[in-house]
Amino acid sequence: MSLERRWPVFIVGLVVSVALLWFALRDLHLEEIWAALREANYWWLLPGVAVYFVSVWFRAWRWGFLLRGSKRVSTAEKHLFGKTQNPARAVSRKMKIVTGVLGANRLFPVVVIGYMGNNILPFRLGEVLRAYVLWRKEGINVGATLTTAVLERLFDGLTMVLFVLFGLLFIPLSDSLNRLVTVASVTFFGALAVFLFLAARPNLLQRVAYFFIERLSPARFCSPLMELVEGIVAGLESLRSGRDVLALFGVTLWVWILETAKYWLVSFAFPDLRLSYIGIVLMGGAVNLLTALPSLPGYIGTFEMGIKILEGIGAPSSPAGSYILLLHAILWLPVTLLGLVFMAREGVQWAEVASQGLDSARPRK
């Protein structure tokens, strides 16, 4: 899908962000928010940010685990992102397989770059940016990278559903949130069932995809599209083992325990807030489920709904509003700045990304 065709999606995201932002902030008083921010103890941000980047490191490890079995770039995949920076290197990698887990230290900068992209680019293009940087850095098949990004979202969503269900055992909330949890549960568990089915039948997936590619795609696109399908199949490899699925759930649970620990640590900056960790878990799970909605870059509006959730569990409005606004800023700013640094260190230019594939990961003429 070209950028021009995505503008309706952007408009929907804009409307959603503005509407939710208005709903979340409409009852707050600016002078009280400002007073709470002035009195906050900002030293609590330091351990919060440190814990957050530890959680990002575990995300990088999880991504490496998902990328096992993925094919490195072949010459046909040049059609996806233009010409490689080093053709000889690409040819030498042709059809190589990633047999081990790519190191988290090596993938950490790429994950951070993807986060930065999602924070400043529309249409969640941080995932495409991450795929491009990994293709450029490691030669990993683009289809596999994008498939693993979807799987990451799936495991994150399932974990958020479990967090909310756990929180609701102790803190009852409104019927609207209960309906949200029901819809999210059906959606994410249904998606997991579909992916498990496809992972268990890779040959069926390939045969069906090849059938349509051969009949509907121009001849010059067949080879790169088939390789893209091979990458998708490889990206599903981790779902073929029950042990691997449990391992992925385990590391995802640990990722979100660390991330909610950051939320909890930042809450101590506001003495009048006094949130329990269970309340933080409930709020974090619900807010991150809402970020699945279309929105402006950086999840503007969807994340601010945390104010209403905290009010629903008894938190005072002004400290809750100040806390959510500060938490959102601390989630956005450090990873965005570090992502820009890593992108510069990798030698990736915005013009290069735009010309070679940020528009979309479709085959080029």
The rounded distance, in Å, linking the Cα atoms of 22 and 28 is 10
State pLDDT tens for residues 246-291: 999 999 999 999 999 999 999 999 998 989 999 999 999 999 999 9
Determine phi and psi for 97, rounding to 5 degrees: -115, 140
State pLDDT tens for residues 85-132: 443 343 334 445 554 557 899 999 999 999 999 999 998 899 999 999
N-terminal to C-terminal alpha carbon distance within the chain = 15
Query: Would the pLDDT of 190 be above 70?
Result: yes
The rounded distance, in Å, linking the Cα atoms of 13 and 239 is 31
The rounded distance, in Å, linking the Cα atoms of 136 and 352 is 11
Under a CB-based contact definition with an 8 Å cutoff, are residues 184 and 157 in contact? Answer: yes
> Comparing C-alpha atoms, which of 257, 221, 252, 255 is closest to residue 361?
221
State pLDDT tens for residues 121-159: 998 899 999 999 999 888 887 888 888 999 999 999 999
Q: What is the pLDDT of residue 356?
A: 60
Under a CB-based contact definition with an 8 Å cutoff, are residues 321 and 28 in contact? Answer: yes
Q: What is the pLDDT of residue 185?
A: 82
The rounded distance, in Å, linking the Cα atoms of 216 and 211 is 9
Per the structure block, which two tokens stand in for 259? 């991330």
Query: Would the pLDDT of 359 be above 90?
Result: no
With bands split at pLDDT 50, 70 and 90, how would you rate the model's confidence at 232? confident
Of 40-49, 66-75, 181-190, 318-327, least confident by mean pLDDT is: 66-75
> Comparing C-alpha atoms, which of 144, 119, 85 is closest to residue 348?
85
State pLDDT tens for residues 171-183: 887 777 778 778 8
Q: SS3 of 155, please?
A: helix
**Other CB atoms within 10 Å distance of the CB of residue 78:** 17
Under a CB-based contact definition with an 8 Å cutoff, are residues 196 and 314 in contact? Answer: no
The rounded distance, in Å, linking the Cα atoms of 197 and 148 is 16
Q: What is the pLDDT of residue 327?
A: 98
Spell out the residues 6+ positions from residue 48 whose beta carbon is closer than 8 angstroms to its own.
262, 263, 265, 266, 330
The rounded distance, in Å, linking the Cα atoms of 274 and 51 is 20
pTM for the complete prediction?
0.85
Query: Would the pLDDT of 200 be above 90?
Result: no
Q: Where are the domains of the chain?
A: 3-358
Per the structure block, which two tokens stand in for 287? 């807010």
Per the structure block, which two tokens stand in for 361? 């990961």
Per the structure block, which two tokens stand in for 300? 């503007």
